[in-house]
Amino acid sequence: MATTFSEGGCVCGAIRYRVRGEPTNSMICHCRTCRRVAASPVVAWVTFPMAQFQLLQGHPTEFHSSEPVRRAFCSICGTPLTYEHRDSVGFVDITTCSLDDPDSFPPTHHSWLSHDLMWVRFGDGLPTFQEWRRDSAA
């Protein structure tokens, strides 16, 4: 199988990255922290093993949105770029819409509906979860 690469970056072009292959997860997050960080009703994320993520250009600025979570953005234009959680070492979440082609990896579900805004209504028919999707019934 041929290895595919996808590229992305921030809106001003200072930061460029490349990912290899397919994401392990693709979802839309409705949590209040993503909402505030992006100043957007929801934020779509794709998850890749860190080994498949390569920064090509620029230096994202990082901050902790909570103690275990590190987020990165472009300090020039403000585009949110990545999310790393201490409990998911070796994986990085990337904002789907910072990809040059956000249609490459469509989301499979919505997470954190418990934080949703009253006026957010999706009609895509995808599964929704009050918090994180559990991959197996607990």
Residues that bind Zn ion (CB under 5 A): 10, 12, 14, 29, 31, 34, 74, 76-77
3-state secondary structure 26-95: EEEECCHHHHHHHCCCCEEEEEEEHHHEEEEECCCEEEEEECCEEEEECCCCCCEEEEEEHHHCCEEEEE
Among 42, 54, 43, smallest CA distance to 16 is for 54
Minimum distance of Zn ion from residue 36's CB (angstroms)? 10
Closer residue to Zn ion (CB): 1 or 87: 87
Closer residue to Zn ion (CB): 51 or 124: 124
Closer residue to Zn ion (CB): 14 or 55: 14
Minimum distance of Zn ion from residue 2's CB (angstroms)? 31
Minimum distance of Zn ion from residue 1's CB (angstroms)? 32
Give me the residues paired with residue 47 across strands: 25, 93
Closer residue to Zn ion (CB): 74 or 94: 74
Asked if 91 contacts 49 with a C-beta cutoff of 8 angstroms, the reply is yes
